[in-house]
Amino acid sequence: MATTHHATKGSPLQNVGWSVLRFMARHGAPLVFAGLLWWVLWWGHTPNVQTVDEAMRHVSWVGVIALIYVALQARAVLAQPRSGVMHSLVEILVSLLPLFVVGYAVIDWLRGDNPLSVFQVIVMAQATLATLIDVVIFTWFSLQLNKLSIQALATHQS
């Protein structure tokens, strides 16, 4: 009697799993960063600090997370395939998610629907800077790499 496996090699379930894993490896940093921003800005994560040193420690952790995000995005740009524009387009759109979260929080804050603490405003400022570095500088760098790759391919074919 033959047994059946639901996740055999090449099965649709396994292919979907690998596709999701590849997508998260390439584009997961903005999704995680946007999720963290959502948590901090709407679920009211405000550290209870008693001294300036404690406040600076919490703000510095926000900076470290923003730097890790920028580093992961830099790695994603360098590791992206050079053969098509679709990957670059998806990367740009996904990279805009944290900026949209911050923009929505600013609009909510200005309307008075979401009162934010000073810590949360600092988080928004640092996240905006990190996201702008990603979107502006890394997008430009990615497009330049694609352009050079296309020129190099044209040179090798002629």
**Residue 52 and residue 79: Cα distance in Å, rounded?**
40
pLDDT tens for the chain, 158 residues long, are: 444 445 455 677 777 777 666 666 666 888 889 999 999 888 867 777 788 788 788 888 888 999 998 888 888 777 766 656 676 777 788 889 999 999 999 999 899 888 888 888 888 999 999 999 988 887 777 777 767 666 666 676 76
Domain boundaries, the chain: 27-157
Residue 4 three-state SS: coil
Q: Are 145 and 82 in contact (CB under 8 A)?
A: yes
User: DSSP 3-state helix, strand, coil percentages of the chain (rounded to 5)?
Assistant: 80, 0, 20
Give the DSSP letter string of 70-132: HHHHHHHHHHS-SS-SHHHHHHHHHHTHHHHHHHHHHHHHHHTSS---HHHHHHHHHHHHHHH
Kindly report, residue by residue over 96-111, the tens digit of the pLDDT: 999 999 999 999 989 9
Query: How confident is the model at residue 145, as a pLDDT?
Result: 72
The structure's pTM equals: 0.72
